[in-house]
């Protein structure tokens, strides 16, 4: 079977390569700082051939010998055009100049097609860091993840919720990659800020569907965050001072136009003011978070390039001084990537990836106290190849092997100097994948992107595989047997085939129809049953009891551009997603330090469906977008909700985002964001019991999510003022004033019920708002 | 055996939520969905001499703060492994079903270790439950130390006396305990203060150790003052009741940023007729208790 597949592959590769053609290839860069540009469309006009640069800025186009116009038109840059004579394989490095306001009038109006129409991929949103910087930010801190939350199909449980939900998926259904390294917790301070330093980010792309075969491992989305390479032409410094963070970054060439680096850091400094506060509680407290992002790249020669990038971030909290209570958590990632070009048409990249997320919390000392630690650690190798056989095919193939170590939690405690240890032992798994895909321009109107990913998963020893009673119960299941495995032994394997297919059909020059299907699998699971995920949630591998999660998604969309300059982009997309092996929890599940965790889990199905409307204006003085999503996401988990479907806890029927920005003049720009979303579902108790003097809530209908909290809406505004350049125009700086939650609404995060403080026999309903007031802020940014 | 260790993480989240996100809490009127009243059993019997009481009530809408109405006309009895039968009577017609020792009776109701079987007949339905009464270790010492005002996480503790206690979990078996603290005879009944232990800490692995500091700290929800009297009751409740109370506590304190979807606490009072859709709620526990008191100078 395997051989047959390989043989067919070979035949097909021969077939599409059997033409006498010439290739032009190279990289597309920003002329100012030498940053490679991702997704820039490079066109050989007369050959009707077009290719978008890959994540390393590389393009390769093949056509019969002849003279052609090579054109690159990319948003934010002046169009590039050059006559090229293809006699033999050619290398051409392209540098694009940034378009500035004054030059707008002379922009060439070419018969180009909008970027959104040209790509076969759908359900995708690209955010460049410039537009992210215009969005009014909470406490003035420009934030990648909070910007992503304004896109259609993306929701969040609320402020303070780590992560985001894409098309009805859980937060762990998002594959978040920082330069190819998976990030397990994208948040500082419980979700108020994301870990990505805006000064070090080049490009952010969110894929919600039609995910190509080279990506896998999560059900719902891919958030691909690419770091800047660092200015290869001259040293550059960026910085900012805001109420929460201060930022500073340096980028510079090591060898001009050959090697460069970027080093960016942020640190919060609220704690620096603590000694001034006359409150014992706060005075002795430590609360801060920081992150460092670093990257270096080296162009060895035309065919070889090396990248090394890394991230270290940490949140630290400590109360009550030495012996007091505290915790800290953070991610570390490292990626080493090596690009090699075989000939002109085969681009390869090999990535070595490390990622670690851990948290630790403790109280007291070694006489009496405890210390708790948990982590997830990943090592991965990922060879990937892109082959550009001719102008109609782009073939991708490769693989990935990932070794995981999970420490689900170890508690060491000291009682009277006596040391004891609780918790589960480490778990291990190995995930392998092979994939191949082809983007095929069938004719001028139809493009197909088809791929297949084979994933193989192994739950590895040492460890104990437990077998549980298989009765369905709303309470913890007991084990009936267990079997111990030694180191490296395969305890359980799963194989899955994941077909991916996207189609694009051009209706006319201004509109296209796209459709996609993808199957995704997921073998790492975030165990969390809180409304908002916490940094202390535990990642667990698939086991003999926890099957890999599966999702099948179909999506259909209509894309159309309007306006003389095609400056208005509009789309409507509908999707339906079926999810299998979804994890839910028995009543009162104990998810911490529990080696019999699987007995606390329930398995169910999910379905999510909706329609997303999106209108965007990307060019001009006035930019922004409106997105409206009407969607449902539901779960069916026996015996919860008496065995009936119920809305999942992040279900929001209506979701409206309006993001606008207006450049009043060269110096001043104004932005506003409005968000409106239906309230999330909640389970309210129906009855009260009184047991041993305590009022205990009871739901006599045994239902789940039987009601909904009020809707969420919020308006934020900001003003960006560019100050006059200093030092002969080399020092640029601006001021950003932003106001979050302008009309001071107390948006409900949840409604809960509690005993009255004075009289515990009286119960009351409490509406909890995470941000209960207007939040103004002020940030000063500079670069030189 | 299942581990139940919500405690430290629970405290951590509570602290995180309170310290970092005081947020905004507004008391609101909500229309809670309606549910049918259910028979509720509150049956905690023990080894102390004297009467035993089982409270039968009907549940009411959650936000109705009136006392629960009694469930009248039930027959209630307990039998034990020794073949003894104890009948509980609601002589005052208030839903409190009481068993009184007969005059001159020397053998107490509760003799750990023993198993008790509860049977309730109510409106044609027969409910039963069984509970094991575990032994209880002694409190080796109960002392105190004077502490200045101090902050612990989000809490400010006034200056006053803090209890110290030495007691050890019974080794060799899974035990569960509920420490109840009283000041001048008044029980600290805030759900946050419910002080539970599994073995010497919060789970297996702490078998036979001295009860660990968080448990000792929590004997003093508020600092005691001169002249006040503290009473500590150590209830050996058994693991099933620990699970129940732990979950009940989680449900009663399920607030803030990291609240979990509310769920029902389990019941161990089951309808014998599997086909009936009438369900009872509540809990039956047989516990053994030791008590120590201290008066502050």
Chain A hits for B257, CB-CB cut-off 8 Å, are 160, 190, 531-532, 749, 768, 770
User: Which pLDDT score is estimated for A325?
Assistant: 74
How many percent of chain B have pLDDT more than 70? 90
pLDDT for residue A372 = 85
Query: Which band of pLDDT confidence, cut at 50, 70 and 90, is reported for residue B24?
Result: confident
Q: How does the average pLDDT of chain A come out, rounded?
A: 87
Q: How many CB atoms lie within 10 A of CB A505?
A: 15
**Contacts with A592 from chain B: Cβ below 8 Å:** 5-6, 9
**Tens of pLDDT along A345-368?**
899 999 999 999 998 888 777 766
Strand residues in B59-159 grouped as ranges (E): 60-61, 75-80, 85-88, 96-99, 114-122, 125-133, 139-147, 150-152, 155-157
In this model, does residue A174 exceed pLDDT 80?
Answer: yes
Q: Look at residue A283 in the predicted model and tell me its pLDDT.
A: 61
- Asked if A705 reaches chain B (Cβ–Cβ under 8 Å), the answer is yes
Residue A416 has its nearest CB partner, among B210, B247, B248, at: B210
Minimum-distance CB partner of B247 among A588, A593, A701: A588
Span A106-113, mean pLDDT?
41
Output A162 or B273, whichever has higher pLDDT.
B273
Is B9 in contact with A704 (Cβ distance < 8 A)?
Answer: no
What is the distance in angstroms between the Cα of B34 and the nearest Cα belonging to chain A? 5
CA separation for the pair A37, A57 (Å, rounded) = 5
Dihedral (Cα; B54, A684, A649, A468), 10-degree rounding: 10
pLDDT tens per residue across span A303-348: 899 999 999 999 888 776 666 777 888 999 999 999 999 988 899 9
Higher pLDDT, B116 or A187: B116
Task: Output the pLDDT for position A583.
Answer: 93
Q: Which pLDDT belongs to residue A216?
A: 94
CA A32 to each of CA A77, A96, A299, B161: distance values in angstroms, whole numbers, following the listed order: 11, 8, 18, 69
> If you count residue pairs, one on A and one on B, with CB atoms under 8 Å apart, how many are there?
296
* Residue B52: per-residue pLDDT: 95
pLDDT band of residue B45 (cuts 50, 70, 90) is very high
Q: Contact A478/B13, CB-based, under 8 Å?
A: no
Residues 6+ apart with CB under 8 A from A719: A668, A669, A670, A671, A736, A737, A738
What is the percentage of chain B residues whose pLDDT exceeds 90? 61
Question: Pick the residue with more confidence: B270 or B34?
Answer: B270
Residue, of B230 and A18, whose pLDDT is higher: B230
Q: Is the pLDDT of residue B11 over 80?
A: no
Are B78 and B117 spatial neighbours (Cβ–Cβ below 8 Å)? yes
The fraction of chain A above a pLDDT of 90, given in percent, is 53
- What value does the mean pLDDT take over residues B95-99? 96
| B259 closest CB neighbour out of A531, A594, A700 | A531
Q: Scan for tokens 């109420």, then name that residue.
A: A243
Return the exposure string of A240-278: e unless at least 16 CB atoms fall within 10 Å of the residue's CB, then b: bebbbbbbbbbbbbeeeeebbbbbbbbbbeebeebeeee
- CB-closest option in B28, B214, B243 to A751: B28
For the segment B104-131, the average pLDDT, to the nearest whole number, is 91
d(CA B263, nearest CA chain A) in Å: 6
Residues of A in contact with B264 (CB under 8 A): 474, 587, 698-699, 702
At residue A663, the 3 state secondary structure works out as strand
Query: Band of the pLDDT at B6, cuts 50, 70, 90?
Result: very low
Residue-wise pLDDT for B185-203, tens only, equals: 999 988 989 999 999 988 7
Which comes out higher in pLDDT, residue A99 or B131?
B131
pLDDT score for A281: 56
pLDDT at A423: 75
**What per-residue confidence (pLDDT) applies to A133?**
83
Q: Is residue A685 less than 8 Å (CB to CB) from chain B?
A: yes
User: Phi and psi of A41, rounded to 5°?
Assistant: -80, 125
Could you give the 3-state DSSP secondary structure of residue B7? helix
Host H or E run for residue A4: helix A2-17
Q: Report yes or no: A327 at the B interface, CB cutoff 8 Å.
A: yes
Question: Which helix (H) or strand (E) is A11 found in, with range?
Answer: helix A2-17
CA distance A368 to chain B (A): 6
Q: Is the pLDDT of residue A109 over 60?
A: no
Write the CB contacts of A641 (distance below 8 Å, at least 6 apart in sequence).
Answer: A702, A703, A704, A705
A218 cis-preceded (ω within 30 degrees of 0): no
Q: Note whether A370 and B8 are within 8 A (CB).
A: yes
Across B160-178, average pLDDT: 94
Buried b (16+ CB within 10 A) or exposed e, A31-59: eebbbbbbbbbbbbeebebbbbbbbbbbb
Res A106 pLDDT > 50? no
List pLDDT tens digits, range A666-690: 899 999 999 999 999 999 999 999 9
| pLDDT at residue A437 tops 90 | yes
Q: Nearest-CA distance from A760 to chain B in Å?
A: 6
Whether the Cβ atoms of residue A127 and residue A114 lie closer than 8 Å to each other: no
Q: Report chain A residues whose CB lies below 8 A from the CB of B248.
A: 691, 694, 696
With beta carbons under 8 A apart, name residues in chain B contacting A692.
42, 44
Q: Are B151 and A190 within 8 A, CB to CB?
A: no
* Residues B190, A599: C-beta atoms closer than 8 Å: no
Sign of CA dihedral B157, B159, B160, B166: positive
Phi, psi at residue B111, to the nearest 5°? -135, 95
Q: Stretch A768-772: mean pLDDT, rounded? A: 83
Per-residue pLDDT at B213: 82
pLDDT band at B119 (very low <50, low <70, confident <90, very high): very high
Restricting to A residues 64-123, those with a Cβ less than 8 Å away from any Cβ of B are none
Interface test with A, best of B213, B244, B268 (most A CBs within 10 A): B213
Predicted confidence band of residue A104 (pLDDT cuts 50, 70, 90): very low
| A761/B24 Cβ within 8 A | no
Mean pLDDT comparison of A86-100, A136-150, A569-583, highest-scoring range: A569-583
Q: Which candidate from A685, A749, A770 shows the least CB-CB separation from B32?
A: A685
What's the gap in Å between the CA of B183 and the closest CA on chain A?
16
**Shortest Cα distance from B212 to chain A (angstroms)?**
5
Q: Residues 634 to 653 of A: which have CB under 8 A from any B CB?
A: 649
pLDDT above 90: residue A418 = no
Q: Could you say which DSSP state residue A311 is in?
A: E
- B281: closest CA of chain A, how far (Å): 8
Residue B67 has pLDDT above 50, yes or no: yes
Closest-approach residue (CA) in chain B for A475: B266
In chain A, which residues have their Cβ closer than 8 Å to the Cβ of B153?
319-320, 325
Q: What is the mean pLDDT of residues A561-576?
A: 89
- Residue B191: beta bridge partners? none
Between B50 and B292, whose confidence is greater?
B292
pLDDT (mean) for B7-20: 52
A301-320 residues touching B, CB cutoff 8 A: 317, 319-320
- Radius of gyration of chain A from Cα atoms? 27
CB contact under 8 A, A771 and B32: no
Nearest to A125 by CA among A152, A146, A165: A152
Mean pLDDT of A120-134: 81
Nearest C-alpha in A relative to B30: A765
The pLDDT value recorded for residue A113 is 52
- pTM of the predicted model as reported, rounded to 2 decimal places: 0.86
Residue A107: per-residue pLDDT? 39
What is the model's pLDDT at position A274? 61
pLDDT of residue A13: 58
A643-652, A752-761, B182-191: range with lowest mean pLDDT: A752-761
Host H or E run for residue A570: strand A568-585
Contact call for residues B287 and B236 (beta carbons, < 8 A): yes
The runs of H, that is alpha helices, within A139-180 are 144-148
pLDDT of residue A322: 63
B212 pLDDT band, cuts 50/70/90, is: confident
Confidence at A115, pLDDT banded by 50, 70, 90 = low
The mean pLDDT value for A53-65 works out to 90
**pLDDT tens-digit profile of A444-478?**
899 999 999 999 999 998 999 999 988 777 888 88
- pLDDT of the residue at A108: 37
For residues B180 and A408, which has the higher predicted lDDT (pLDDT)? B180
Does any CB of chain B come closer than 8 Å to the CB of residue A752? Answer: yes
């Amino acid at each position: 079977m395997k051989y047959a597949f390989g043989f067919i592959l070979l035949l097909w590769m021969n077939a599409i390569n059997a033409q006498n053609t010439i290739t032009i290839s190279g990289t597309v860069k920003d002329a100012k700082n030498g940053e490679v540009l991702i997704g820039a469309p490079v066109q050989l006009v007369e050959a009707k051939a077009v290719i978008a640069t890959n994540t390393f800025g590389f393009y390769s186009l093949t056509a019969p010998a002849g003279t052609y116009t090579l054109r690159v038109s990319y948003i934010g840059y002046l169009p590039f055009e050059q006559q090229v004579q293809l006699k033999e394989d050619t290398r051409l490095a392209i540098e694009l100049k940034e378009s500035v306001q004054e030059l707008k009038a002379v922009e060439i109006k070419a018969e180009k097609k909008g970027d959104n129409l040209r790509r076969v991929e759908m359900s995708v949103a690209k955010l460049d860091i410039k537009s992210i910087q215009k969005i009014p930010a909470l406490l003035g801190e420009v934030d990648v993840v909070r910007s992503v939350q304004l896109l259609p199909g993306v929701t969040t449980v609320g402020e303070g919720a780590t992560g985001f939900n894409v098309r009805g998926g859980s937060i762990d259904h998002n594959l978040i990659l920082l330069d190819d390294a998976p990030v397990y917790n994208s948040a500082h301070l419980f979700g108020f800020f994301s870990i990505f330093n805006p000064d070090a980010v080049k490009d952010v792309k969110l894929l919600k569907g039609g995910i190509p075969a080279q990506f896998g491992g999560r059900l719902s989305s891919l958030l691909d965050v690419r770091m800047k390479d660092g200015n290869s032409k001259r040293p550059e410094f960026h910085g900012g001072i805001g109420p929460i963070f201060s930022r500073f970054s340096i980028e510079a060439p090591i060898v001009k136009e050959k090697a460069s680096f970027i080093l960016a850091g942020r640190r919060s400094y609220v704690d620096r003011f603590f000694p001034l506060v006359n409150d014992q509680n706060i005075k002795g407290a430590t609360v801060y978070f920081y992150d460092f992002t670093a990257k270096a790249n080296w162009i060895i020669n035309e065919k070889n390039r090396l990248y090394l990038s890394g991230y270290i971030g940490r949140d630290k909290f400590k109360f009550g001084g030495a012996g007091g209570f505290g915790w800290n958590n953070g991610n570390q990632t490292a990626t080493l990537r090596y690009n090699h070009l075989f000939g002109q048409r085969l681009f390869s990249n090999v990535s070595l990836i490390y990622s670690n997320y851990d948290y630790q919390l403790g109280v007291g000392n070694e006489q009496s106290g405890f210390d708790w630690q948990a982590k997830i650690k990943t090592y991965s190798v990922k060879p990937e190849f892109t082959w550009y056989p001719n102008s109609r095919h782009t073939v991708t193939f490769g693989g990935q092997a990932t070794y995981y170590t999970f420490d689900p939690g170890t508690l060491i405690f000291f009682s009277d100097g006596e040391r004891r240890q609780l918790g589960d032992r480490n778990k291990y798994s190995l995930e392998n994948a092979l994939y191949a895909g082809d983007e095929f321009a069938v004719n001028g109107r139809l493009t197909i992107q088809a791929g297949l990913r084979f994933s193989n998963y192994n739950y590895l020893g040492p460890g104990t595989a437990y077998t549980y009673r298989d009765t369905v119960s709303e309470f913890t299941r007991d084990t009936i047997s267990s079997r111990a495995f030694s180191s490296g032994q395969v305890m359980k394997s799963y194989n899955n085939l994941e077909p991916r297919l996207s189609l694009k059909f051009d209706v006319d020059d201004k509109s296209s129809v796209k459709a996609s299907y993808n199957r995704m699998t997921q073998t790492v699971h975030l165990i969390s049953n809180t409304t908002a995920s916490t940094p202390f949630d535990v990642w667990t591998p698939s086991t003999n009891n926890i099957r890999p999660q599966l999702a099948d998604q179909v999506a259909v969309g209509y894309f159309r551009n309007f306006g003389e300059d095609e400056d208005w982009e509009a789309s409507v997309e509908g999707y339906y997603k079926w999810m299998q092996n979804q994890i839910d929890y028995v009543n009162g599940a104990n998810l911490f330090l529990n080696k019999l965790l699987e007995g606390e889990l329930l398995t169910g199905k999910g379905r999510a469906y909706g329609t997303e409307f999106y209108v965007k204006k990307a060019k001009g003085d006035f930019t922004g977008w409106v997105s409206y999503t009407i969607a449902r996401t539901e779960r069916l988990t026996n015996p919860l909700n008496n065995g009936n479907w119920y809305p999942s806890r992040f279900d929001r029927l209506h979701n409206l985002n309006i993001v606008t920005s207006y450049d009043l003049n060269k110096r001043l720009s104004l932005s506003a964001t409005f968000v409106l979303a239906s309230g999330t579902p909640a389970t309210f108790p129906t009855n009260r019991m009184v047991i041993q003097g305590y009022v205990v809530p009871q739901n006599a209908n045994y239902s789940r999510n039987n009601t909904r909290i009020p809707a969420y809406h919020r308006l934020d505004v900001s003003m960006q003022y560019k100050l006059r350049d200093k030092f002969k125009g080399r020092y640029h700086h601006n001021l950003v004033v932003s106001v979050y939650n302008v009309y001071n609404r107390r948006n409900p995060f949840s409604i809960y019920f509690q005993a009255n403080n004075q009289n515990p026999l009286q119960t009351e309903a409490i509406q909890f708002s995470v941000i209960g007031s207007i939040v103004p802020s002020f940030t000063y940014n500079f670069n030189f | 055996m299942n581990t139940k260790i919500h405690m430290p993480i629970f405290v951590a989240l509570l602290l995180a939520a309170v310290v970092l996100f005081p947020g905004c809490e507004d008391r609101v009127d909500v229309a809670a969905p309606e549910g049918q009243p259910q028979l509720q059993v509150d049956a905690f019997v023990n080894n102390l001499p004297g009467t035993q009481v089982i409270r039968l009530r009907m549940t009411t809408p959650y936000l109705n703060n009136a006392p629960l109405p009694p469930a009248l006309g039930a027959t209630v009895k307990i039998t034990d492994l020794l073949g003894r039968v104890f009948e509980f009577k609601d002589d005052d017609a208030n839903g409190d079903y009481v068993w009184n020792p007969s005059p001159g009776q020397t053998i107490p109701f509760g003799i750990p270790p023993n198993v008790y079987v509860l049977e309730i007949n109510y409106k044609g339905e027969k409910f039963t439950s069984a509970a094991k009464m575990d032994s209880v270790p002694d409190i080796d010492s109960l002392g105190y130390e004077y502490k200045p005002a101090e902050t612990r996480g989000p809490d400010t503790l006034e200056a006053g006396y803090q209890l110290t206690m030495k007691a050890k979990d019974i080794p060799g078996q899974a035990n569960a305990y509920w420490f109840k603290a009283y000041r001048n005879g008044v029980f600290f009944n805030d759900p946050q203060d419910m002080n539970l232990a599994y073995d010497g800490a919060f789970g297996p692995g702490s078998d036979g150790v001295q009860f660990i500091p968080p448990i000792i700290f929590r004997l003093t929800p508020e600092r005691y003052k001169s002249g006040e009297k503290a009473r500590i009751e150590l209830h050996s409740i058994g693991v099933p009741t620990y699970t129940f109370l732990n979950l009940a506590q989680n449900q009663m304190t399920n607030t803030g940023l990291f609240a979990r979807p509310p769920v029902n606490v389990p019941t161990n009072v089951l309808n014998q007729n599997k086909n009936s859709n009438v369900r009872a709620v509540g809990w039956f526990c047989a516990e053994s208790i030791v008590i120590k008191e201290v008066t502050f100078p």
